[in-house]
Amino acid sequence: MSRKKIAILRGGNSNEYDVSLKTGVSILQNLSEDKYIPLDIFLDKKNVWHVRGVPVSPERALCGVDAVWIALHGASGEDGSIQRMLERFSVPYVGAGAFASMVCFNKELSKNIFEKNGALVPRHTVLKVSDSLEREVQNVFRTFPQPCIVKPVCSGSSVGVSLARSYEELLRGVKEAFQHSPQVLIEEHIRGKEATVGIVDGLRGEALYSLPPVEIIPHHESSFFDFNAKYGGKSEERCPGNFTTEETQELKRLAQVAHTALHLKHFSRSDFIVSRSGIYFIEANSATACGLTAESLLPKSLLAVGIGLPEFVDHVVHQALERRR
Burial class (CB in 10 A: 0-12, 13-18, 19+), 220: exposed
**Are the CB atoms for 82 and 76 separated by under 8 Å?**
yes
Catalytic residue among 14, 101, 110, 157: 157
29 with 282: CB under 8 angstroms? no
Asked if residue 215 belongs to a known ligand binding site, the reply is: no
* 283 assigned ligand-binding residue: yes
Q: How many residues does the chain have?
A: 325
Give me the DSSP letters along 157-180. Answer: TTTT-EEE-SHHHHHHHHHHHTTT
Helix, strand or coil for residue 143?
helix
The yes-or-no answer on residue 16 being catalytic is yes
7, 75, 96, 155, 325 from 71: Cα distances, Å: 10, 12, 13, 15, 23
Would you say 69 and 7 are in contact if contact means Cβ atoms under 8 Å apart? yes
Q: What are phi and psi of 4, to 5 degrees?
A: -90, 145
Spot the catalytic one: 14, 16, 101, 194.
16
Angle of helix 245-261 relative to helix 107-116, nearest 10 degrees, comes to 110
Catalytic residue among 76, 210, 222, 296: 296
| 117 labeled part of a ligand binding site | no
Binding-site entries: 271, 283, 285
Extract the annotated binding site for Mg(2+): 271, 283, 285
Residue positions annotated with a catalytic role: 16, 157, 296
